[in-house]
Chains A and B, each alone.
Chain A
């Protein structure tokens, strides 16, 4: 398996534009996580899905952020409209949904909003 695949690797956009980040989890994994990492706040869990269903989105900073998982092999994180403070590295991770499990992370998307 190629691991968790995220696209794009880098994104530069202007304030106010819509940004869509994409993630393909490891085949067979039934949990998917979106994280945001900044120097100031570290790694923050934004939202996670079990069996394509959002379980906890309490980490989503505000209504400008939304995430979907239309099927087991694809998820998106959308920011609309984007703001400079959204600049960060966004990671997607997947795992098996069980008590003892490990999460596998993608390479991340570095987002810069100017």
Chain B
């Protein structure tokens, strides 16, 4: 299983763009990179998934370089409601193993 490493915590002001980088050096050819968001007292919620280059949806963008050994989740213009824990996963088959996550705090 590919292990992921991401910062433990980050702070950002409202309206700023936030980039959270995750490293996954031993990612396998068939693995996908997936990001989840978790609010207190709730289960994790899917944000975005990608295999290579760039993926964008209504919530975030995911940037994956050619070697796929890292990925960056980009949240445009964060608001206070984006305060949460963000998890980077490398999904092998459909096995979802979570790391420690990044606790993002958005400051007014």
Residues of A within 8 A of B (CB): 4, 31, 33, 35, 42-43, 45, 48, 50, 56, 91, 93, 95-108
Verify A42–B101 contact, CB threshold 8 A. yes
Verify A107–B30 contact, CB threshold 8 A. no
A56 to B94 Cα, complex, angstroms:
12
A57 to B99 Cα, complex, angstroms:
18
B34 CB–A CB distance under 8 Å: yes
Residue in A93, A96, A97, A100 whose beta carbon sits within 8 Å of that of B43 in the complex: A93
Verify A31–B94 contact, CB threshold 8 A. yes
Verify A33–B30 contact, CB threshold 8 A. no
Residues of B within 8 A of A (CB): 30, 32, 34, 41-46, 49, 51, 87, 91, 93-101
A95 to B96 Cα, complex, angstroms:
10
The B interface, classified by DSSP as helix, strand, loop or mixed, is loop
Verify A100–B49 contact, CB threshold 8 A. yes
Verify B96–A103 contact, CB threshold 8 A. yes
What residues on B are CB-neighbors of A35 within 8 Å?
A: 98
What residues on B are CB-neighbors of A99 within 8 Å?
A: 30, 32, 93-94
Question: What is the minimal beta-carbon distance from A61 to any residue of chain B, in angstroms?
Answer: 16
Known A91-B43, A105-B44; contact A42-B96, beta-carbon cutoff 8 A = no
A99 to B32 Cα, complex, angstroms:
8
Residue in A50, A91, A98, A102 whose beta carbon sits within 8 Å of that of B49 in the complex: A102
Across the interface, name the chain B residue whose C-beta is closest to A92: B43
Verify B94–A107 contact, CB threshold 8 A. no
Residue in B46, B51, B98, B99 whose beta carbon sits within 8 Å of that of A102 in the complex: B46
A61 to B7 Cα, complex, angstroms:
27
What residues on B are CB-neighbors of A31 within 8 Å?
A: 94
Q: Can you pick out 25 interface pairs between chain A and chain B where the beta carbons lie within 8 Å of each other?
A: A4-B43, A31-B94, A33-B96, A42-B99, A42-B100, A43-B44, A43-B87, A43-B98, A45-B96, A50-B94, A91-B43, A93-B44, A95-B94, A96-B94, A97-B94, A99-B30, A100-B51, A101-B91, A102-B49, A103-B44, A103-B94, A105-B43, A105-B44, A107-B43, A108-B42
